[in-house]
Amino acid sequence: MAGNDSVPPTARPDTRFTYEDFLLFPDDGKRHEIIDGEHYVTPAPNLRHQDLAGRLYIAIGNYLAHHPGTGRVFVAPLDVVFSLYDVVEPDLLFVAGDQLAILTPQNVQGAPALVVEVLSKGTRKRDEQIKRRLFERGGVREYWLVDPELDLVKVHRREEGGPLPRVAELTAENHEVLTTPLLPGFSLPLAAFFAPSL
């Protein structure tokens, strides 16, 4: 007589969080995200974080004001929905002129051309590893990691049809300038960008 080995195991229900779950998360001033169905919560950012995100938003916004049709820039909080199980709120994102169809009144449905995260102790590993893998498989063209502790920017740029490798590590100390082919003519001197606020 056959034992229970011949009986197929009961299917385990999928316990991953979905976008529907995401919509029920509390509005508590923290950043809630799901990546591959796992829920991540980040405390409200500090002053330095917000200062750098704001400076970058203004710099790109000023560029776009003089280059209409190039695209649109947004600062957090704004939901970016990559899939049912992947919803993130990047610190800053740029949607290029050729992909404006991914913008909806509620959120972004798909991969922005550029995603920017300002690193903190609590999010460094997630931003450098977990989110980078999501953005790589999701189709993001460029990913910047702004490091307020070291005054540097790590640039990941997609090769056509390829991965999202790190192509540059630019520092304020070396007076380097941040540029991108996504914004022709845009340049941001990092010594000024990382300079202490008054």
pLDDT in tens, 151-185: 999 999 998 878 999 999 999 999 999 999 999 99
In this predicted structure, what is the pLDDT of residue 13?
Answer: 62
Specify the pLDDT at position 198.
57
Residue 76 belongs to some domain of the structure: yes
Q: Do 17 and 34 form a contact (C-beta atoms < 8 A)?
A: yes
In a domain, 27, yes or no: no
* pTM for this predicted structure: 0.90
Range of the domain at 76: 46-193
We report the CATH number of the domain holding residue 105 as 3.90.1570.10
Residues 158, 164: Cα–Cα separation, whole Å: 4
